[in-house]
């Protein structure tokens, strides 16, 4: 049986450079808090327990993450990374191993961590390090005879010689829990920052002859931390690029992989094409051969096969049937379901509307709280008046009805099968099936009427 794993995520720090009221680790990356990315990677390792050390920003962090399976450990005041881990010691399973992560290093991959957990389960210490062209600010890895790791020296405590070392401490490490707890108890704060450094544990371990095995991430971005909004934006782009690469590998055409934003999950069928500047939020599914035009925003949408979504559409909480054509400039709001081959054109807003097979709403309309049958044609400028100021009412338009342009349907109201409404009708009573219904003032011509003319000066 594997030794139990306790994961500790450090997230008590201040994040001064974000200049924000929001705790740093709650700043979103790809639409969810940075720390949620870390929790996802941590969760994939199947830990017995995840402890999050929080402090700065108070209860905002546990409240907004709101997960019953986490152990929240308050660090108050914040006296350094070693002190932070000490606060979680009572929650360690001393028979197992402990992995330490940072809440502000969001793109760490679980594959990298898995390797470290294996090392710790064999009794050694896994230390994640990386060689940087510019190591400024980081703790440096000091190696001795035979390349053995001897200790970590913080930038502010380093000699000129040590500052030249390019291998740095990422902060992520994994080791047997009991040993960690023992060394933590011996930490002092006699250093340049007057803090309890977690990194001093490495020096103690080396002195006791422990095996310290440096591990390395597959890519630098895995271990990049976020201290500023600029760094957050950089990692956001990196993450989006990774998502874009994965989509292309899976067979999706992206006109410009640098101009794609997925803030949730995006599942695509075969031969999907996505044009530039599209944003996908929540859970989006695109069927085979679907085309999404430029500048669309799709949130929680299920799109069938062979759908064409033209540029500048905003679609939220909807199901789109196969072969439908939408946009440009359509707004589709929650509760809407378009059946196969429905057409929704420019400047059309749909809300909680069920639109049947091959029905067309092509121009400048509002259709809300409505049931629209098959092969219905809704003319330009049609409005369902669904709201009386207090209650919402439904409009029903049955199969093959034809709604003339500039019509208002004052709900609750039903248009019968095959009925025709004349242009300009304000429908307040049901329109019978198969008949022409219209409400229209009689057309009138006043013979000899003269338009007023301006007096000449």
Residues serving a catalytic function are 363
Q: Which of residues 41-70 bind Ca ion (CB under 5 A)?
A: none
Rank residues 34 and 119 by Cβ distance to ligand UD1 and give the closer one: 34
11 binds, among Ca ion, ligand UD1, none (CB under 5 to 8 A by kind): ligand UD1
Q: Closest approach of Cβ 99 to ligand UD1, in Å? A: 14
Closest CA to 148 of 217, 100, 203: 203
Q: Closest approach of Cβ 301 to ligand UD1, in Å? A: 36
280 binds, among Ca ion, ligand UD1, none (CB under 5 to 8 A by kind): none
The two three-digit tokens of residue 424, written as one number: 């300009």
Residue 226 · residue 106 · CB < 8 Å: yes
From first CA to last CA, the distance across the chain in angstroms is 104
139 binds, among ligand UD1, Ca ion, none (CB under 5 to 8 A by kind): ligand UD1
Cβ count near 421 (within 10 Å): 27
Residue 50 · residue 42 · CB < 8 Å: yes
Residue numbers at the binding site for ligand UD1 (CB under 6 A): 10-13, 53, 75, 78-81, 83-84, 102-104, 138-139, 152, 154, 168-171, 197-199, 225
CA distances from 447 to 68, 442, 444, 452 (A): 80, 16, 10, 15
Q: Closest approach of Cβ 34 to ligand UD1, in Å? A: 10
Rank residues 101 and 284 by Cβ distance to Ca ion and give the closer one: 101
Rank residues 104 and 281 by Cβ distance to ligand UD1 and give the closer one: 104
138 binds, among Ca ion, ligand UD1, none (CB under 5 to 8 A by kind): ligand UD1
Neighbour-count burial for 38-56, b at 16+ CB within 10 Å, e otherwise:
bbebbeebebebbbbbbbb
Residue facing Ca ion at closest CB distance? 225
183 binds, among ligand UD1, Ca ion, none (CB under 5 to 8 A by kind): none
Cβ count near 319 (within 10 Å): 18
Binding mask 337-366 for Ca ion (x = CB under 5 A): ------------------------------
- Chain position carrying tokens 């470290």: 116
83 binds, among ligand UD1, Ca ion, none (CB under 5 to 8 A by kind): ligand UD1
What CA–CA distance (Å, rounded) separates 85 from 184?
8
Q: Closest approach of Cβ 46 to ligand UD1, in Å? A: 23
321 binds, among Ca ion, ligand UD1, none (CB under 5 to 8 A by kind): none
Rank residues 68 and 77 by Cβ distance to ligand UD1 and give the closer one: 77
Rank residues 163 and 248 by Cβ distance to Ca ion and give the closer one: 163
Rank residues 136 and 446 by Cβ distance to ligand UD1 and give the closer one: 136
Q: Closest approach of Cβ 10 to Ca ion, in Å? A: 10
Q: Closest approach of Cβ 388 to ligand UD1, in Å? A: 53
Residue facing ligand UD1 at closest CB distance? 139
In sign, the C-alpha dihedral spanning 63, 64, 65, 67 is positive
Q: Closest approach of Cβ 24 to ligand UD1, in Å? A: 7
Closest CA to 309 of 280, 284, 329: 329
Q: Which of residues 203-262 bind Ca ion (CB under 5 A)?
A: 225
Rank residues 55 and 225 by Cβ distance to Ca ion and give the closer one: 225
What CA–CA distance (Å, rounded) separates 164 from 289?
54
Q: Closest approach of Cβ 102 to ligand UD1, in Å? A: 4
214 binds, among ligand UD1, Ca ion, none (CB under 5 to 8 A by kind): none
Rank residues 169 and 395 by Cβ distance to ligand UD1 and give the closer one: 169
Contacts with Ca ion, residue ranges (CB under 5 A): 225
């Amino acid at each position: 049986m594997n030794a139990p794993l306790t994961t500790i995520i450090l997230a008590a720090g201040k994040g001064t450079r974000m200049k924000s009221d929001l705790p740093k680790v709650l700043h979103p990356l790809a639409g969810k808090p940075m720390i949620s990315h870390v929790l996802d990677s941590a969760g994939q390792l199947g830990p017995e327990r995840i402890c999050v050390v929080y402090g700065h920003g108070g209860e905002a962090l546990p409240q907004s993450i709101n997960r019953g399976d986490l152990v929240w450990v308050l660090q108050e005041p914040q006296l350094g990374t070693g002190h932070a881990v000490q606060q979680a010691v009572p929650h360690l399973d001393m028979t197992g191993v402990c992995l330490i992560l940072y809440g502000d290093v969001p793109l760490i991959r679980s594959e990298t961590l898995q390797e470290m957990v294996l090392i710790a389960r064999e009794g050694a210490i896994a230390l994640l390090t990386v060689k940087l062209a510019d190591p400024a600010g980081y703790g440096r890895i000091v190696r001795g005879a035979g390349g053995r790791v001897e200790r970590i020296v913080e930038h502010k405590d380093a000699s000129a010689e040590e500052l030249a070392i390019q291998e740095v401490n990422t902060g992520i490490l994994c080791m047997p829990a009991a040993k960690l707890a023992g060394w933590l108890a011996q930490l002092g704060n006699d250093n340049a920052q007057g803090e309890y450094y977690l990194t001093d544990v490495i020096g103690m371990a080396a002195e006791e002859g422990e095996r310290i095995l440096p591990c390395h991430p597959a890519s630098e971005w895995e271990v990049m931390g976020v201290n500023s909004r600029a760094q957050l934006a950089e990692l956001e782009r990196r993450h989006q690029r990774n998502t874009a690469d994965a989509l292309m590998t899976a067979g999706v055409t992206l006109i410009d992989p640098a101009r794609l934003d997925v803030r949730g999950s995006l599942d695509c069928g075969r031969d999907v094409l996505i044009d530039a500047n599209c944003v996908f939020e929540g859970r989006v599914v695109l069927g085979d051969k679907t085309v999404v035009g430029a500048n669309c925003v799709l949130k929680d949408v299920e799109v069938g096969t062979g759908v064409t979504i033209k540029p500048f559409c905003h679609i939220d909480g909807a199901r789109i049937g196969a072969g439908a054509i939408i946009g440009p400039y359509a707004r589709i709001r929650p509760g809407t379901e378009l059946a196969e081959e429905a057409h929704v054109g420019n400047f059309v807003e749909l809300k909680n509307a069920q639109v049947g097979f091959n029905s067309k709403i092509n121009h400048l309309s509002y259709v809300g709280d409505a049931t629209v049958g098959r092969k219905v044609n809704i003319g330009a400028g049609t409005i369902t008046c669904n709201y009386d100021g207090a209650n919402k009412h439904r409009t029903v338009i049955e199969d093959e009805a034809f709604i003339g342009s500039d019509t208002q349907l004052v709900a609750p109201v039903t248009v019968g099968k095959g009925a025709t409404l004349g242009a300009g009708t304000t429908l307040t009573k049901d329109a019978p099936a198969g008949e022409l219904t219209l409400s229209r003032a009689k057309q009138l011509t006043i013979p000899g009427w003269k338009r007023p003319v301006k007096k000449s000066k």
